[in-house]
Amino acid sequence: MKLYNSLSRTKEDFVPHESGKVSMYTCGPTVYHFAHIGNLRSYIMEDVLEKFLRYDGYDVTRVMNITDVGHLASDADTGEDKMLKGAQREHKSVMEIAKFYTDAFFSDCEKLNIKYPDVVQPATGMIEDYIKVIESLLEKGYAYHAGGNIYFDTSRLKQYYVFNDHDEENLAVGVRDSVEEDQNKRSKADFVLWFTKSKFEDQALKWDSPWGVGYPGWHIECSCISMKYLGERLDIHCGGIDNAFPHHTNEIAQSEAYLGHPWCKYWMHVHHLNTAGGKMSKSKGEFLTVSLLEEKGYDPLVYRLFCLQSHYRKGLTFSWENLDNAKAAYEKLVARVAALGEAGAVDEDAAAGFKAAFIDAVGNDLNTSLGVTALYDVLKADVNDATKRSLIASFDEVLGLDLLGRAAALKEKEAEAAAGEDAGEVEALISARTEAKKAKNWAEADRIRDELKAMGIEIKDTPGGVEWKRI
């Protein structure tokens, strides 16, 4: 497989640290509100990556954090804690908010056919780990105490801006909305590892630490959770492109300072979902959720197909018209699958060629649009229906569109509709036969029985009346 590495800014051959095994870390949600469909685009594409790696024969372990503490309103360690803000908004405790929105997030993921991670770790469950790493960073001279907080000292690094998308000028106060002056920092790029009570007196979640009662910064949680479950060398770290700086930049800084060696080989960043007004975001009030799509009559898997039709490294523009086009395409695709017969044997030789082509296509930096095209190639191929169904089921292990499941549901719905269409006629004929029998018109009764049989209806006279079924 080839994968674009945000760290090297090149498409590279994917080679894991351990042959045949992949350690994969996904930045999870900050559970202070519902995830919007822009957030979920990242998780869909990360899900495809995981499923493709498994499809290609790798043993994958994927870990996800849940941020239930430490993520401030500004990425520059300023403003209110997002969890506290959510709790105040809904007049609930932080933990009540965290549980509700964690459950809501994974419910959305299930609707979008996103696989549940192998490990899910809330940030609040690893306080001792953060303290251990921060103590080590202090001992090594990579961190310092100032104004009641513990900061990471970016000046100790040979290179801080590893993604080359940002520089010190962009960190100047007033240039980026997220940057506010912090007099405690030695350098504008420094970031908080641990906040104490001196920072936010009203912080709901606090823990004892060697530096006073407080709570961890946002960035430290992902480093520690990843190292706990995936070890000192990570294969793939995933997230939205907006996480590249400062969050992922800070993760690399503190992880490699702590470990003393390179940490993560490949970085995958999914680009934004845009609207006519720009990037979709909660702060701008643009709040399209999976539930809202359902209320408007869209199958969540329509949105998944909508995402798969575009490359993850390109911005994707959302509009209701574009979603309608995806809906039409999805329904036609399901209908074509539903029309396939189930009899016959799979042509394994023919199937192998299609599977190889699918792996080549999707394995080229997760080209999901070509993966979708492969479905249509199968449907129009000169192979029997059993082979087509087998290949569609195979490709769907990666694409996650539940085509056979939706096709079966469509066929059942059509059967029910068909049953309803002539049910009145069947009942009328049965009633006419009953009247014919009462009049001892046996010839007419037999004629009606024969007519019903020709319609595929079998009748049975019982003490409780006439029962009928389709044959």
CA distance 83 to 205: 10
Confirm whether residue 197 is marked as ligand binding: no
CA distance 302 to 316: 15
Question: What torsion, rounded to 10 degrees, do the Cα atoms 430, 436, 442, 448 define?
Answer: -30
Residue-wise DSSP of 280-325: --TTTT----HHHHHHTT--HHHHHHHHHTS-TTS-EE--HHHHHH
Confirm whether residue 27 is marked as ligand binding: yes
Confirm whether residue 307 is marked as ligand binding: no
The phi, psi pair for 414, rounded to 5°, reads -65, -35
CA distance 168 to 121: 33
Outline where 339-457 has alpha helix (H): 348-362, 368-379, 385-399, 403-438, 442-454
Distance, C-alpha 101 to centroid of its chain: 15
CA distance 428 to 413: 24
Confirm whether residue 238 is marked as ligand binding: no
CA distance 29 to 104: 11
Confirm whether residue 282 is marked as ligand binding: yes
Residue 167, C-beta contacts closer than 8 angstroms, at least 6 positions apart: 161
Binding positions for Zn(2+): 27, 222, 247, 251
Binding positions: 27, 222, 247, 251, 282
Binding positions for ATP: 282
